[in-house]
């Protein structure tokens, strides 16, 4: 069980760094079978990240119906508006809100079932065409719309630094934006840079490959 040893090692390091207990460790369980995930759940871990709505529904629905308090699910992949209905029903956190159109759809579905989800707005800091995320120049408009026209609980910002570049400047920039807009939480940092992310103020880190890659 290499993956379980990896998890235990990373969790120990995380606990040593996270002395103030203000950061949440999300195990990115996308593409993993539930047998492996259950091994980590049995060690008391609660927060898990998934990329695709349908995969998540098929993998988690039965478990959550029987054990609703044993896991919190985070959507960390791009969300299309035609998947919003299912996403609202299964996820507790959505890290990839990036447009007014999506905000409207989420608000409608959330209100239908009287469920309160916590949201991060994904920011495309490097203007990468292949990545989702609102551009910095449009961030204020989106946040203002969510605040005045919806019931969405926007708790912070999220980013994915460009591959192969130094993450530090992007973490610093996102933290500054968070402060500017008086938001409390930051979703940033993955397997290769989560320690730096925590030092730069991250309150939610997303680790998958460092656990499951064998």
With a cut of 90, say whether residue 210 has pLDDT above it: yes
Predicted local distance difference test score (pLDDT) of residue 165: 87
With a cut of 90, say whether residue 202 has pLDDT above it: yes
Q: What's the pTM?
A: 0.96
For residue 204, the surrounding DSSP H or E stretch is strand 204-207
DSSP type of residue 97: E
pLDDT tens for residues 118-149? 999 999 999 888 889 999 999 999 999 999 99
- Mean pLDDT for 68-76 is 96
User: Rounded to 5 degrees, what are φ and ψ at 107?
Assistant: -65, -45
Classify 104 as helix, strand or coil: helix
d(CA 156, CA 147): 13
- Mean pLDDT for 60-85 is 96
Write the CA distances from 42 to 13, 45, 71, 75, 214, integer angstroms.
19, 7, 11, 21, 21
Predicted local distance difference test score (pLDDT) of residue 104: 98
- Mean pLDDT for 141-158 is 98
Predicted local distance difference test score (pLDDT) of residue 169: 95
pLDDT tens for residues 12-30? 999 999 988 899 999 999 9
Percent of the chain whose predicted confidence (pLDDT) is above 70? 100
Contact 189, 154 (CB under 8 A): no
d(CA 26, CA 73): 9
Angle at 57 between CA 27 and CA 67, to 5 degrees: 70
With a cut of 80, say whether residue 214 has pLDDT above it: no
Per CATH, the number for 2-212 is: 3.20.20.10
With a cut of 70, say whether residue 45 has pLDDT above it: yes
């Amino acid at each position: 069980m290499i993956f379980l040893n990896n998890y235990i090692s990373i969790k120990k390091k995380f606990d040593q760094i996270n002395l103030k207990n203000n950061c949440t460790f999300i195990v990115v369980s996308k593409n993993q079978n539930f047998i492996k995930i259950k091994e980590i759940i049995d060690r008391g871990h609660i927060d898990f990240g998934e990329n695709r709505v349908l995969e998540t529904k098929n993998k988690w629905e039965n478990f959550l119906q029987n054990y609703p308090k044993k896991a919190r699910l985070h959507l960390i992949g791009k969300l299309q508006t035609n998947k919003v209905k299912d996403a609202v029903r299964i996820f507790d956190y959505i890290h990839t809100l990036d447009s007014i159109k999506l905000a409207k759809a989420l608000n409608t579905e959330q209100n239908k079932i009287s469920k309160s989800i916590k949201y991060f707005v994904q920011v495309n800091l490097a203007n990468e065409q292949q990545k989702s995320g609102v551009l910095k120049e449009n961030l204020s408009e989106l946040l203002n719309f969510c605040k005045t026209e919806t019931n969405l609980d926007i708790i912070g910002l999220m980013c994915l630094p460009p591959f192969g570049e130094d993450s530090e400047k992007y973490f610093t920039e996102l933290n500054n934006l968070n402060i500017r807009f008086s938001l409390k939480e930051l979703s940033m940092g993955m397997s290769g840079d989560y320690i730096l992310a925590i030092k730069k103020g991250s309150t939610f880190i997303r680790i998958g490959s460092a656990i499951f890659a064998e």
